[in-house]
Structure 1
């Protein structure tokens, strides 16, 4: 039985997955469904980066989770693929990133189970902070030669950016 953090964030994943599936269900991309997916996913990433990761780091005495860097690189790559004007191809590329990423978060011994174990005493307060997190500002799509269009390219760029932040 998942704990309260895993339950809440698993529900968010399910809602986002349904929006992405709706966006690509027809012959043309459903732009309204994709826009809702994009906005929701960017907010979800912000909640993890700004609320969950700092709480985990504090609970671990300032030490990051062993896979925190990978999650951050994934988040950067996912965000990079949300920059260009969406196409069915970009939606497929997003799915190639989201499937293993979601497993790392939702799977047995993953991020959310770790959160429920380490943050049980403050779970209610964290849930309130996550629910109250404001919507994120979503910029207009941009296209051009420097915009990532494949998962491989987005992961490479995000990984390089993560190295520079160290």
Structure 2
């Protein structure tokens, strides 16, 4: 598991971009060696990533920018919900012993994830770096709670 204490993240974009790469690596491992444990590791990592954004990063951006209930974080939450729905389908298949069926949904998840990550890395994270620069020490502390 990627931990904020194991990296030299100096701002939100470096930490969250690195976490995207970590999830990508776990996906590649799952595709290469489709096991239930590999599925569970990937699922946990991606859900953890969503939770860190939704519980720590997005509220900080919204507070700093005064955009409650609107703006890019609302779009990102909607996309997280879409990806969670695919994860649920994949999880049902994986947990019932059908990893091939689970991976059949992988193309959908991969497409959603790649588009989503491009938006975050190209727009949202740079915005977060500017909007929350003075809060990074506090945000790092909150992110530690996720392991």
TM-score between the two structures when normalised by the length of structure 1: 0.71
TM-score between the two structures when normalised by the length of structure 2: 0.79
Distance 1:96 1:38, change over 3 A: same
The residue aligned with 2:13 is 6
5+ residue gaps, structure 1: 135-166
The residue aligned with 1:124 is 137
Q: Which residues of 2 match residues 1-166 of structure 1 at below 5 A?
A: 4-26=11-33, 29-63=34-68, 66-84=71-89, 85-86=93-94, 87-107=102-122, 110-133=123-146
1: CA distance, partners of 2:141 / 2:128: 15
1: CA distance, partners of 2:132 / 2:50: 19
CA RMSD of aligned residues (A): 1.9
Q: Is the 8 A contact 1:16 1:37 kept in 2?
A: yes
1: CA distance, partners of 2:145 / 2:61: 19
What is the CA distance between 1:82 and its match in structure 2? 1.2
Three-state SS of the structure 2 residue aligned to 1:24 is: helix
What is the CA distance between 1:92 and its match in structure 2? 1.8
What is the CA distance between 1:61 and its match in structure 2? 2.4
5+ residue gaps, structure 2: 1-8, 95-101
Three-state SS of the structure 1 residue aligned to 2:88 is: coil
1: CA distance, partners of 2:65 / 2:45: 28
Distance 1:9 1:91, change over 3 A: same
| Count of aligned positions | 129
Q: Which has the higher contact order (CA 8 A, sep 6+)?
A: 2
